[in-house]
Amino acid sequence: MSDKVVGILGGGQLGRMLAVAGSLLNTKIVILDVGEHAPAKQVLAPRSSQYSHIDGAFTDSARIQELAAKVDVLTVEIEHVDADALAEAKCDIHPRPSTIKLIQDKFAQKQHLQARGCPVSEFMAVDSTVESIQAAANNLGLPLMLKSRTLAYDGRGNFVLRDISQASDTLAALGDRPLYAEKWVPFTHEIAVMVVRSTSGEVRAYPVVETVHKENICHLVFAPLRSRDGTLSRRAQAVAEHAVKTFEGAGVFGVEMFLMNDGSIYINEIAPRPHNSGHYTIEACETSQYENHLRAILSLPLGSTALKVPSCAMLNIIGLSSSMTEITHLTDVALTVPGASVHLYGKSECRKGRKMGHITIVAESDAELRTRLRALLKALPSSPI
Ligand code: ATP
Ligand code: MG
Ligand code: MG
């Protein structure tokens, strides 16, 4: 086992689940995030002063160096960190700051993928002017997806232009954020693959999953992907593995993809960290994405990514308002459903659209899974599917 200390930039739910996985390996973890009660800080026992967490922003260069001084390996649970400051750190860093910097600019990420033969749909640079947006719409057609190049999550940073007259609305919605345009992709399904990459460059894909989004936020994940096309899963894993091999550094990467009617696949985007679509791995795979991320960055042997249950689903618990009432109702019901595991993130405030937790359901068959899932969906005020 490793006695290296791991520093994580970001203390949200992904950091919390990394911390839980680390506790099972006796791995010491130090978190950098704002506040004493960030979700990841809550699950780690109080440390001696050497290992106490840091109160500060993961975009604050001085705080990043403070964290680096306490640990052997730095990693991230969010890509929106100060990658240049991270690159200055005098310790191991996984994935590499260059990878994080590339991925955090979604336009640069797409250019990188395209140049390395990864399938991406058409996209182009746009300036933040009505003329430039209209030119992109003339070029790529309508509807057109305008995206912020940076700081995007949960679709906050995306604007769908349905009519050329909405160009100024795009600018009003996305403000002065740097933009680019993507051709609208009429996908039939969204799928995702987690890939773990070791310090020596070995990659292992997790099973392909189907992700169901509602209002740009992932609501449901089904594992494994069911398809009549017997080649699909292996093809999607190969696309994901090839893409992850183009980046430097170890850890898990989440590869979001679009599945087209003809069976072809495009990469939507890649996350250089554990990912929402991989939460299911905690209960359903031989090694969770969180444990494998730690194993990878600590140069420990990678764990098996195989499924250990026949059928699995993950339901995100998304805030509907400032009230926790509906969430409590849902988790109360989940406690009565066989095969359901509740994960709450310890967030102090509930807000509409905020990820407050998730529920993983495992079952011996798809039919049993559907029955179990139905009980949970009935407990939602409005079903996401
Ligand atoms: P997150 O990082 O939380 O996954 P994000 O803010 O980076 O989200 P995207 O993943 O780029 O946003 O897009 C959010 C959703 O919008 C996608 O999951 C998909 O449903 C839809 N979408 C994105 N790009 C396109 C496109 N070019 N055509 C059609 N739909 C798209
Ligand atoms: Mg994203
Ligand atoms: Mg996305």
pLDDT tens for residues 68-82? Answer: 999 999 999 999 999
pTM (whole model) above 0.80: yes
Confidence band (pLDDT; 50, 70, 90) for 44? confident
pLDDT for the residue 50: 73
- Check pLDDT > 70 for residue 48: no
By alpha-carbon position, which residue is closest to atom 16 of ligand 1? 216
334-358: per-residue pLDDT in tens? 999 999 999 999 998 999 999 999 9
Mean pLDDT of the chain: 96
Contacts of 360 (CB under 8 A, 6+ apart): 279, 280, 282, 283, 284, 312, 313, 314, 340, 341, 343
Closest ligand by atom to 218 CA: 1
Contacts of 206 (CB under 8 A, 6+ apart): 193, 194, 195, 196, 278, 281, 285, 289, 305
What average pLDDT does this structure show over 240-253?
A: 98
Q: Would you state the structure tokens that stand for residue 145, as one six-digit string? A: 């997806």
291 in ligand 1 pocket by Cβ < 6 Å?
Answer: no
By alpha-carbon position, which residue is closest to atom 2 of ligand 1? 153
90-109: per-residue pLDDT in tens? 999 999 999 999 999 999 99
Confidence band (pLDDT; 50, 70, 90) for 47? low
pLDDT for the residue 6: 97
- Check pLDDT > 90 for residue 180: yes
The pLDDT > 70 percentage for the chain reads 98
Name the residues around ion ligand 2, CB cutoff 5 A. Answer: 269
Confidence band (pLDDT; 50, 70, 90) for 45? low
Closest alpha carbon to 75 in 91, 63, 60: 91
More confidently predicted of 280 and 48: 280
- Check pLDDT > 60 for residue 385: no
What average pLDDT does this structure show over 9-17?
A: 98
Q: What radius of gyration do the chain's Cα atoms show?
A: 20
What average pLDDT does this structure show over 225-249?
A: 97
What average pLDDT does this structure show over 115-135?
A: 97
- Check pLDDT > 90 for residue 270: yes
Three-point CA angle 137, 141, 147, nearest 5°: 55
pLDDT for the residue 252: 98
Task: State the helix-helix crossing angle for 366-377 and 325-334, rounded to 10 degrees.
Answer: 150
Confidence band (pLDDT; 50, 70, 90) for 175? confident
pLDDT for the residue 46: 63
Ligand 1 site-directed mutation target among 174, 216, 259, most atoms within 8 Å of CB = 216
293-332 per-residue burial string, b: 16 or more CB within 10 A, e: under 16: bbbbbbebebbebebebebbbbbbbbbbeeebebbeebbe
C-alpha dist (Å) from residue 132 to 137, 138, 167, 170, 182: 9, 10, 9, 11, 13
Ligand 1 atom closest to 157 (CA):
6
What average pLDDT does this structure show over 252-276?
A: 98
Q: Where are the alpha helices (DSSP H) in the chain?
A: 13-24, 39-42, 61-70, 83-87, 97-104, 106-115, 130-140, 167-174, 232-245, 281-284, 289-297, 325-334, 366-377
CB distance 14 to 78 below 8 Å: yes
Residues 26, 340, 348, 213: is their CA dihedral positive or negative? positive
DSSP 3-state of 276:
helix
Closest ligand by atom to 154 CA: 1
Distance 360 CA to ligand 3 centre (A): 20
Closest alpha carbon to 93 in 114, 72, 124: 72
The pLDDT > 90 percentage for the chain reads 94
Three-point CA angle 370, 372, 377, nearest 5°: 85
By alpha-carbon position, which residue is closest to atom 9 of ligand 1? 155
Distance 365 CA to ligand 2 centre (A): 32
Distance 149 CA to ligand 2 centre (A): 10
32-46, 162-176, 256-270: lowest mean pLDDT where? 32-46
Distance 269 CA to ligand 2 centre (A): 6
Confidence band (pLDDT; 50, 70, 90) for 176? confident
Q: DSSP letters of 307-356?
A: B-SSEEEEEEEE--SS--HHHHHHHHHHTTSTTEEEEE---SS--TT-EE
Ligand 1 atom closest to 185 (CA):
28
Confidence band (pLDDT; 50, 70, 90) for 172? very high
Confidence band (pLDDT; 50, 70, 90) for 51? confident
More confidently predicted of 317 and 51: 317
- Centre a 10 Å sphere on the Cβ of residue 207 and count the other Cβ atoms it contains: 20
216 in ligand 1 pocket by Cβ < 6 Å?
Answer: yes
Distance 311 CA to ligand 1 centre (A): 26
The terminus-to-terminus CA distance of the chain in angstroms comes to: 43
By alpha-carbon position, which residue is closest to atom 12 of ligand 1? 155
124 in ligand 1 pocket by Cβ < 6 Å?
Answer: no
pLDDT for the residue 384: 45
Distance 211 CA to ligand 3 centre (A): 10
